[in-house]
């Protein structure tokens, strides 16, 4: 059990007010082609169109905007393979806060370059042989900077949950009742926040997390009743989802709110990236495409149902994108 308190629906509503005017209220798109293909009504929440190209800006801005004036002067440190890095760097720039980001040396070049472009200092580490939290802790010890975790934080989770709050509001406005909601899961911040919203506002909606099949720590954790770690920290194209394990808080929330965790292969993800480009006209990164991959590959029965798929990010490097488009 985590010592941290899970965010409530009111916390998520407050987060939505804080990020209003800074984060993009991404649309809820209906794909008639995909709906026809799957025998369902498929809606897309494209967080690849979010500021910094990923949902991560939501949680980062919600967390940083609540720092005290003293904390803002000292600065922040975060550890991330890319999207949380960019989210924190962009939020810090807007709020006038100095940011240092600990990034794995094998992070996609685009994500690293973008993080630096937002004004953050990047410190590299070897994800197989070094612990990113220890690297960050040394920086904190030297500078006193505030750590902004990628997922194990109630304010981060609340910020990420605003994506689902928008989905519920947008669906209601269109007179749509969602049967299923699918989103990627790495450390679990997005899935925790989104599942909290559906639990509070649309309890009949089944919520599914989707992760790479060789990095299925969340699925294994739920199956075994305790947190499991991934054996490796590299080896999937879904760099955004290769966290060591879910957090205590995110695990607790997911365990209570989520129907199931689905697994997809790299090949299925590449096919989903290509489909998003060809049919949806959206650029999606591997980790951001896993929910779409799960639907396209039949990992969940969507027949006759109204389904929302969240595409969590679009920061894909040219080499991976080329590989997807050529399959």
The per-residue pLDDT for range 127-170, each reduced to its tens digit, is 778 887 788 888 888 889 999 999 999 999 999 999 999 999 99
The per-residue pLDDT for range 104-133, each reduced to its tens digit, is 888 888 888 999 999 999 998 887 788 877
Residue 3 lies in a domain: no
Number of domains comprising the chain: 2
Residue 23 is part of a domain; what is its CATH number?
Answer: 3.40.50.1100
Hey, which residues are catalytic here?
56, 312
The per-residue pLDDT for range 263-274, each reduced to its tens digit, is 999 999 999 999
Residue 1 lies in a domain: no
**Do 189 and 132 share a structural domain?**
no
**Do 316 and 192 share a structural domain?**
yes
Last residue of a domain, one of 121, 147, 173: 147
Last residue of a domain, one of 128, 147, 166: 147
Report the alpha-carbon distance of residue 327 to residue 324 in Å, rounded: 6
Q: What is the pLDDT of residue 58?
A: 98
How far CA 211 is from CA of 10, 79, 126, 136, 327, in Å, comes to 28, 20, 23, 26, 21
**Do 280 and 222 share a structural domain?**
yes
Report the alpha-carbon distance of residue 6 to residue 116 in Å, rounded: 32
**Do 162 and 177 share a structural domain?**
yes
The parent domain of residue 65 ranges over 57-147
Q: What is the pLDDT of residue 178?
A: 98
The per-residue pLDDT for range 159-199, each reduced to its tens digit, is 999 999 999 999 999 999 999 999 999 999 999 999 999 99
With 80 as the cut, is the pLDDT of residue 1 above it?
A: no
Q: What is the pLDDT of residue 138?
A: 85
**Do 309 and 228 share a structural domain?**
yes
**Do 314 and 176 share a structural domain?**
yes
Last residue of a domain, one of 147, 166, 199: 147
**Do 263 and 213 share a structural domain?**
yes
- At a CB cut-off of 8 Å and minimum separation 6, what does 236 contact? 212, 214, 215, 242, 266, 286
How many percent of the chain have pLDDT more than 70?
100
């Amino acid at each position: 059990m985590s010592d941290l308190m899970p965010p409530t629906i009111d916390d998520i509503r407050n987060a939505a007010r804080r990020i209003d005017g800074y984060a993009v209220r991404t649309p809820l798109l209906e794909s008639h082609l995909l709906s026809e293909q799957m025998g369902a009504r498929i809606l897309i929440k494209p967080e690849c169109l979010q500021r910094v190209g990923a949902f991560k800006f939501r949680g980062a801005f919600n967390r940083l905007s609540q720092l005290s004036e003293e904390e803002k002067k000292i600065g922040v440190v975060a550890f991330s393979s890319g999207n949380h890095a960019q989210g924190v760097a962009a939020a810090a720039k807007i709020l006038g806060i100095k940011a240092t980001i600990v990034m794995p040396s094998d992070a996609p070049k685009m994500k690293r370059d973008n993080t630096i472009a937002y004004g953050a200092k990047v410190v590299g580490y070897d994800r197989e042989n070094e612990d990113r939290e220890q690297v960050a802790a040394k920086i904190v010890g030297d500078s006193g900077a505030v750590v902004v975790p990628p997922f194990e934080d109630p304010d981060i989770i609340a910020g990420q949950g605003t994506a689902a709050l928008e989905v519920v509001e947008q669906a209601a406005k269109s007179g749509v009742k969602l049967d299923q909601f699918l989103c990627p899961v790495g450390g679990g911040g997005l899935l925790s926040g989104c599942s909290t919203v559906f639990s509070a506002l649309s309890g009949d909606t089944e919520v599914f997390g989707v992760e790479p099949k060789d990095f299925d720590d969340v699925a294994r954790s739920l199956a075994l009743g305790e947190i499991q770690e991934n054996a490796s920290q590299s080896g999937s194209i879904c760099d955004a989802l290769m966290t060591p394990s879910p957090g205590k808080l995110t695990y607790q929330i997911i365990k209570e709110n989520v129907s199931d965790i689905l697994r997809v292969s790299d090949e299925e993800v590449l096919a989903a990236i290509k489909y998003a480009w060809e049919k949806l006209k959206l650029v999606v990164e591997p980790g951001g495409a896993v929910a779409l991959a799960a639907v396209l590959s039949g990992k969940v029965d969507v027949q006759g149902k109204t389904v929302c798929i969240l595409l969590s990010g679009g920061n894909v490097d040219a080499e991976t994108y080329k590989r997807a488009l050529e399959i």
